[in-house]
Amino acid sequence: MKFREFSHKVYPGLQFQKQSRKNTFIHDTFLRTFPLQKNKHMLIDTHTHLFLKEFDEDRDEMMKRTLENGVKKVYLPNIDSSTTSQMLQMEEDYDWAKPMIGLHPCSVENNVQKELAHIEAYLKKHKFAAIGEIGLDFYWDTTYKEQQIEVFKKEIDLALAYDLPIVIHARNSLDECIEIVQAKQNGHLKGIFHCFSGTLEQANKIIDLDFLMGIGGIVTFKNANLPKIIKDINIKYLVLETDSPYLAPTPHRGKRNESSYIPLIAEKIAEVQGISMGEVAAVTSENAQQLYKL
Ligand code: NI
């Protein structure tokens, strides 16, 4: 345990160098371990699709890196009925990976009744952290706009009935999503506007709804407007997310994203808000734990 005591000093490496040469072995071990000691904060990835095939080759190693980087819990938003079993398998394999159930707006077609029946059946037999990921996506395709709105509203009703938070995907549709949540808010609805990249005015509407904003890799992008917006948002309304395998933060931009990159997002928020990494970790983790009961 001597090892641990040293690691808590400010410059433990220097302390070690003053020790006798006999400690060379320990010293080397220490240097190899030092990067892990830096991430002593407990972090949470509130939105990550680690059950997708992009991780089939190296899921174990990726999960190990994630834990080593201080990310102690990951929340898995479902895509549609075709991904439920892979997601639940991940929960079995890693008890710190918590599932959600919901229909991603990009999976909405003429399948709404079947998908809603799937969600309801699973809600009756399994515990989920949230209804997610749900919402509206008018960026790729608006063919099923009406169906997207219909299923989003029904999923919010299910969240209220099961007393679960919702995780919202809003692409080219943030105002519409905010309006739907405003209409449904009866004082019990809670959740996250995931991958937030809106205006300060939209952020304030989300805060008025008592919802949180998920901040991901976009905040680290060069020329991103998001840092200017979140500078003025109280951190008690923010949570961390990767949305893996998409939207990897700098310097991994354009490559596969993974939950082990969460510290890069936390560091950027700390820099923008002028607070410590410890505070970002503590407050965002508390926000996530308050919301997700699993
Ligand atoms: Ni997502």
pLDDT in tens, 198-251: 999 999 999 999 999 999 999 999 999 999 999 989 999 999 999 999 999 999
Determine which of 33-42, 110-119, 234-243, 269-278 has the lowest per-residue pLDDT on average: 33-42
pTM: 0.86
Going by pLDDT thresholds of 50, 70 and 90, the confidence category of residue 41 is confident
> What's the average model confidence in pLDDT over 156-176?
98
- Cα of 40 vs centre of ligand 1, distance in Å, is 27
What pLDDT score does 141 carry? 87
* Parallel, antiparallel or unpaired: strands 166-171 and 191-193: parallel
- Cα of 48 vs centre of ligand 1, distance in Å, is 6
- Cα of 188 vs centre of ligand 1, distance in Å, is 24
| Six token digits for residue 60 | 């174990």
- Cα of 23 vs centre of ligand 1, distance in Å, is 48
Its domain, for residue 37, covers 3-13+20-291
What pLDDT score does 39 carry? 53
Q: What span, in angstroms and rounded, lies between the C-alpha atoms of 176 and 186?
A: 18
Assign residue 198 the CATH number of its domain: 3.20.20.140
Residue 155 has pLDDT above 90, yes or no: yes
- Structural domains in the chain (count): 1
Long-range contacts of 243-247 (CB under 8 A, 24+ apart): 243/47, 243/48, 243/49, 243/194, 243/195, 243/216, 243/217, 244/45, 244/48, 244/49, 244/50, 244/54, 244/55, 245/49, 245/52, 245/54, 245/55, 246/49, 247/195, 247/216, 247/217, 247/218
What pLDDT score does 51 carry? 98
